[in-house]
Structure 1
Amino acid sequence: MPTQAHINMPAEPVRQTGMLRPALTVFVGLSIVTGLLYPGVVTGIARTLFPHQAAGSLIVQNGRTIGSELIGQPFSDPKYFWGRLSATAPMPYYGAASVGSNLGPANPALTDAAKARIDALRAADPDNQAPVPVDLVTASGSGLDPQISPAAARYQAARVARVRGLPVERVESLIAANTEAPALGVLGEPGVNVLKLNLALDAAK
């Protein structure tokens, strides 16, 4: 009678168990480092060294938050400077829906939006026949841009001065005071924060 051969069972389940344990260990370790430790350290450093920026660069007056330096607000009253158009929905400068219009230069909708803004600017200041700066009639890529160019601010200076009964020189000095230099002195172009400029106007005597 032939001798029964020994049958060796495959060791695959043992191998799989041995591979699963280090994979789970690495997963848990990386989750703790990248999901808890790193964000916690970076947030702590930011709040210590840059508390204003880390809190959203909020503008607070009389104990009330009225906006952020980083997000524009819609202005249409002639006594205020107007910012860029915003393509966000369902309302302009909606932070939860940051988006550009994605309209090409040949798109009639872009032309219509620009024409409507030009008509509004002309109606608010009929005597101003200067060319309208392009950033006053187009939306930014984010739809939240809080700044306009110094040229766009100067274009509106006469209107704002007339409506408020202020000397044009006074308004232009406020524009200069609220013009921000490019980041690190070389990145980007100078810009005027519209919300901060309008707040300075409200405080002007």
Structure 2
Amino acid sequence: MMKNNLLDLAKQRRTIYDLGRNLSFTQDELTTLIKDTIKQAPSAFNNQTTRAVILYGASHEKLWDIVINRLKSEVPDEAAFARTSAKVKAFKAAFGTILYFTETKTVAEFEKNFPLYAANFQDWSEQAQGNAQYAVWTALAENGVGANLQHYNPLIDDDVRAAFDIPASWRLRAQMDFGSIETPAGNKDHLADDVLFKVFN
């Protein structure tokens, strides 16, 4: 009989927007889980291009204040900003945030050292990002910690770099806020198999 442990965990991993700070885990425990999971995520040539900054407390809140302040100059009117601000404040209510980056120096080095595959390393670094993000998201879900993934980059890149002393070669790819699940996700729909897959013998 085939084992479905990973599939069962994958079903637990959902986008949770209503997050809180009612977690029984310590920051150290969460940090260790996040670090260890990212280390095990695969990358092309094992080049390990993914970097992460883990924010808690005032630093976590500072990140989402940066987002709100940056969006203030982008949204068309006060009503739109009020809606956007409310959404971002929900992310701020979470326990912490993971900022995912790509180390562009490593990508460039592999482009230079493996010219036959040079055109692929940007794409492969994005695949590595997806692997790391999905792995962490699933590991958090296994422990009953909710999360969602946001992409306010590149709008916030410069402010984030200045606020958290980010190396110039790190390119921001996503923001994952996480915390206690205050409201679970609803049902998830899937496209039909004949749309998603082809199987040949």
TM-score, normalised by the number of residues in structure 2: 0.25
**Higher Cα radius of gyration:** 1
Structure 1 length as normaliser, TM-score?
0.24
Structure number with the bigger relative contact order (C-alpha 8 A, sep ≥ 6) is: 2
